[in-house]
Structure formats: structure tokens, C-alpha cells
Amino acid sequence: MRTTLRDVAAAAGVSAMTVSKVLHGTGTNVRVSQEKADQIRKTASELQYQPNDLARSLRNKRTMTVGVVFRQLTRLNQQNPYFPQLLNGVMAALFEQNYTLALCPKLADLSNNGAVSDGRFDGILWCRPDFTDESIQGLSRSSVPVVMMHTPADLVPGLSTFCADNETAMRRVVQHLVGLGHERVAFVIDEQNEAAAEAKARSEAFLAAMSDFGMQGEICVWNDDATGCVEAYVGTDRPHTAIATFSEAFAGIILRRCVDLGIQVPADLSVVGFDSSTFCETTQPRLTAVNQPVEKMAYEATLHLLNLIQANVEGLPKALPSSSIYDCGLDIRSSTAPPALIVESVS
């Protein structure tokens, strides 16, 4: 039989209200000495008392649940290392404070009766929204706290954002490729991510970096399995000698298509990914990629959300939004090299 709060009170020789004060922080008018509080905690531990989180959340008018919104929930089932890293960071922060996680494909209705404000969540962590998604407009007026990940701050005024430094990241990619001698470079996005806010930010950063080096970059959108795209790409008269991709997962797909078509990477084509998880060590060749601290970003974004939730519960004034931008390095592996024309001219 499960040990109750009253069982702990009886064993410790105190009232149930006193136990509740020590273990749950309720009953502000109850005064308990440090010695008595320590005794109550020891008794609760010996009796293996576990608080009823559901009952406590009902008393506090909290669900103890945070909703995490993904644009493409189906990608959790695919071999995409980005999502496990993100969820590891989110869950680490939530479990520290006894919160649970609910995954949501979208929250289209943001009215007072909608999913954001209907009481099912204490807060929302929104990951990688579409920049064309009308549902993110007006989020700052939500009755529950909302924090955005992978979203430039100017897209969601009034909300705290946690985002990679896409401008510096893409500059490092371009600098690396130009330093190898590449002049014709493209940034390739898969169709499912074409509308992602970060795809727009990285595209603009890529074009700006290429322009700074006196070159003209190109943005390409390929279908999600790159079928037909790589074939058409290498069949052109003046193919690019290097491509940077929106994600390491899509870069991996392109590498496999190159193998199928007999395209040598990096001899014929240099490829750069984005995220740089352990996945990049398993590709053939090993993938050069931007190192984005996804897990750290997710952990700190979730902690920030939990702080906003606590302030909301206590009725404190709404905090001013903050923007956290994370530096990204470039892990150079085996998928990038000088273009073939330069190698041939040197030899």
C-alpha cells in the first residue's frame, strides 16, 4: 500500500499540515524548526513516501506539463540525430523540476480557447517554426509562457529566443570553402525545411558571406531524398564544386546519392553539413559540419521557460524578452577538399 502524507505525520508525531509544510511548502502560517523538518524528511524517506504529483498540481492549478512544438513531428522517427540531442536537453531540464513533456505537431489556434491557453500546458517551447506560419503571430499575448528555439528574435518580438549564430556559422563555412579554392558554391535546403525560419536566416547569411568574398552564391531547394537533384546537378555545364546543406541529415542523404551515382566526395564535390553530431563520424566520407550546441541550447531554453512559468504562477510582472545566440564552430573532416580543377592545375 502506498504511504500517505498522514502516515508520515503519524510516524513523525506531527500534524499532516506540518508534514505538508516541510515536504511541499504549503501552509505559510505553520512554523517548523530545522530539527523537526529534518526529522520529518528522514521519516518520509524511511517510509518511502512519494508525493502525489497530480494532486499537488491540481492544488497549485498547474499541469506540470510543458508542450514542445515541432514543425515536423514525423521526423522523430527518422534517422535524424538533431532531435535526440534536442530532446535530451529538454528532458534533462524538465525532469530536474518534476515536469513532464508533451510533443505537439502544431498549435494552430492561439486564441484564448486554443491549445496554448486552454490549461493543458504550463508553458510552450516552440522549435524551428516556419517563418510563414501565421500561428506564431501574437504568441507574445499568450496567457502561458512561450519560448522559441531556432528562431531569429526579429521574427517573434516580445518572446525570448534561443538560436544559433547563423551569420557567423555560414561565414565560417564560406571562408573554409573559399580558402580551399572553391568559387562556385551553393546552399542546399531540403523541401521539408524550406519554410523553416532558420533556413531563411542561413540562406541570407550564406549569400551575404559569399558576396563579402566577391562571389555569387546560389540557393537550391531539393526534394527530401535528393532523387533526381544530384543527377541534374552534375549534368549541368558548370556545376558547383561545393555545397553547404541546411542539416547534417540532408547532407548524409546527398552523400549516399553521390555514392550511387559514382560521384567522388570530395574529389568531385565538397559537402558541408550543419549540427556536427556523432552522425558525421559515420558517413562516408566523414562529414565536415557546423558544430551547433543543440543539447545545451535546448537545456537552457527549457530552464528559461520554467523560470517564466514559476514567475507566472507567483503573479510576478512579465519578464522582458531575451535573445540568446550561440556560437557555432566548424568541424573539418573528410568531405571537403580543394576543387578538382585546382588539383589538376597544381599537378
Label each residue of 81-93 as H, E or C. CHHHHHHHHHHHH
Judge if 175 and 235 occupy the same domain: yes
312 Cβ contact partners less than 8 Å away, ≥ 6 residues apart: 122, 123, 144, 145, 318
- Give how many domains the chain has, as a whole number: 3
Least confident of 11-20, 74-83, 106-115: 106-115
Question: What pLDDT sits at residue 346?
Answer: 41
Question: Model confidence over 115-146: pLDDT tens digits?
Answer: 566 678 899 998 877 655 566 666 777 778 99
State residue 45 phi and psi, 5-degree precision.
-65, -45
Q: Is 228 left (phi over 0), alpha (psi -120 to 50) or beta?
A: left
For residue 158, with 0-12 CB atoms within 10 Å meaning exposed, 13-18 middle and 19 or more buried, which class applies? middle
Mean pLDDT of 1-30: 78
- Distance from C-alpha of 2 to C-alpha of 146, rounded to nearest angstrom: 36
Q: Has residue 319 been placed in a domain? A: yes
Amino acid at 45: S
Element holding 272 (H helix, E strand): strand 270-275
Q: Are strands 242-245 and 185-190 parallel, antiparallel or unpaired?
A: parallel
Sign for the pseudo-dihedral over CA of 164, 166, 170, 175: negative
Judge if 285 and 157 occupy the same domain: no
- The whole-model pTM stands at 0.78
Judge if 339 and 254 occupy the same domain: yes
Least confident of 176-185, 238-247, 287-296: 238-247
∠ at Cα 109 (107, 113), nearest 5°? 115
Return the exposure string of 122-145: e unless at least 16 CB atoms fall within 10 Å of the residue's CB, then b.
bbbbbbbbbbebebbeebeebebb
193 Cβ contact partners less than 8 Å away, ≥ 6 residues apart: 199, 246, 247, 250
pLDDT surpassing 80 at residue 254: yes
- Higher-confidence residue: 2 or 245? 245
Q: Has residue 56 been placed in a domain? A: no
* CATH number of 215's domain: 3.40.50.2300
Cross-strand partners of 102 = 67
Judge if 74 and 144 occupy the same domain: yes
Q: What's the distance, CA 332 to chain centroid?
A: 23
- Distance from C-alpha of 256 to C-alpha of 264, rounded to nearest angstrom: 11
Q: Is 190 left (phi over 0), alpha (psi -120 to 50) or beta?
A: beta
Q: Which three cell numbers stand for residue 230?
A: 544530384
- Residue 343 — very low, low, confident or very high, per pLDDT cuts 50/70/90? very low
161, 133 Cβ separation under 8 angstroms: no
Judge if 276 and 337 occupy the same domain: yes
Q: Has residue 256 been placed in a domain? A: yes
163, 304 Cβ separation under 8 angstroms: no
Q: Has residue 59 been placed in a domain? A: no
pLDDT surpassing 90 at residue 155: no
Instruction: Give me the helices (H) in the chain, please.
Output: 5-12, 16-24, 34-46, 53-60, 82-96, 166-180, 197-212, 229-234, 248-261, 294-313, 340-346
Q: Has residue 309 been placed in a domain? A: yes
Judge if 34 and 170 occupy the same domain: no
Domain that holds residue 228: 166-293+331-346
190, 222 Cβ separation under 8 angstroms: yes
Judge if 316 and 341 occupy the same domain: no
Q: 3-state class of 104 per DSSP?
A: strand
- Distance from C-alpha of 188 to C-alpha of 271, rounded to nearest angstrom: 10
Least confident of 62-71, 222-231, 334-343: 222-231
Judge if 184 and 279 occupy the same domain: yes
Least confident of 21-35, 107-121, 178-192: 107-121
* CATH number of 11's domain: 1.10.260
For residue 165, with 0-12 CB atoms within 10 Å meaning exposed, 13-18 middle and 19 or more buried, which class applies? middle
Question: What pLDDT sits at residue 204?
Answer: 96
311, 319 Cβ separation under 8 angstroms: yes
Q: Has residue 57 been placed in a domain? A: no
Question: Model confidence over 310-332: pLDDT tens digits?
Answer: 888 877 888 889 999 999 999 99
Q: 3-state class of 274 per DSSP?
A: strand
Question: What pLDDT sits at residue 113?
Answer: 37
